[in-house]
Amino acid sequence: MLLSIKQYGDAVLRAKSAPVQQPYDEHESLVQNMIETMYAAEGIGLAAPQIGLNIRLVVIDIPKDEADEAGESEPEEMISVNGEQMPLSSIMPLVFVNPELEPYGKQGLFMEGCLSVHELRSNVARPLHLRAKLTKLDGTVLEIDCGGILARCLQHEVDHLDGFLFTDRVSSAGKLTLAKKLKRLMEYR
């Protein structure tokens, strides 16, 4: 079932989301609908607040070609999962609750967009690497150490759980350019 994606200006996108309580797998059908909605909208990530629920739940699916476009020259990006190197695609689609992120290393710019901020894209500076603890619906924990598009996507999605949008994180010069467009989004939503 397709869910409606909340748009810029909706208060649900600005609230801090609550931790998901056990049993996590009672959210299984919600997750299926979120994945279906994300695919239909051609997104690579969707956080629960974007479909109107302030809980710390995220779905991500980074297709192989997107990972290559992120500038990784390898045929497929490798990431560390529980201490083992594996291809990024081996953990997709990635569904998790109550994430803990620890971004590190130098910052870099990357063009971001968002299913809740239609038609707008902007360069955003964030740390290029991170360590993450992601709890899957079956309760198992993935400890990830990565760079590339997954590091970017995780920071973007977890921002949603804290009420932030990528537009909050663009440079002040970038914000000036965005201001008019964001005002228009507020008027036409």
Query: 175: Cβ–Cβ under 8 A, 6 or more apart, which residues?
Result: 167
CA distances from 149 to 45, 83, 118, 189 (A): 11, 19, 20, 29
38 binds Zn ion (CB under 5 A): no
In the chain, what is the greatest distance between 2 CA atoms, to the nearest angstrom? Answer: 49
Q: Measure the CA–CA gap between 148 and 135, rounded to whole angstroms.
A: 21
* 15's tokens: 């609230």
134 binds Zn ion (CB under 5 A): no
Task: Closer to Zn ion by CB, 36 or 76: give it.
Answer: 36
* 66's tokens: 């997107």
Active-site annotation holds for 157? yes
Task: Closer to Zn ion by CB, 114 or 154: give it.
Answer: 114
Task: Closer to Zn ion by CB, 3 or 114: give it.
Answer: 114
161 binds Zn ion (CB under 5 A): no
151 binds Zn ion (CB under 5 A): no
55 binds Zn ion (CB under 5 A): no
The minimum distance between CB 135 and Zn ion, in angstroms, equals 21
CB-based burial of residue 187 (10 Å sphere; 0-12 exposed, 13-18 middle, 19+ buried)? exposed
Task: Closer to Zn ion by CB, 31 or 38: give it.
Answer: 38
* 147's tokens: 């760079």
The minimum distance between CB 40 and Zn ion, in angstroms, equals 15
Q: Measure the CA–CA gap between 178 and 80, rounded to whole angstroms.
A: 36
Q: What residues between 79 and 118 interact with Zn ion by CB under 5 A?
A: 114
The minimum distance between CB 95 and Zn ion, in angstroms, equals 16
170 binds Zn ion (CB under 5 A): no
E strands, 48-188, are 57-60, 78-81, 84-87, 94-114, 117-135, 141-146
Q: Which residue is nearest to Zn ion (CB)?
A: 114
120 binds Zn ion (CB under 5 A): no
Catalytic residue among 76, 102, 157, 187: 157
| Contact residues for Zn ion, defined by CB under 5 A | 114
Active site residue ranges: 157
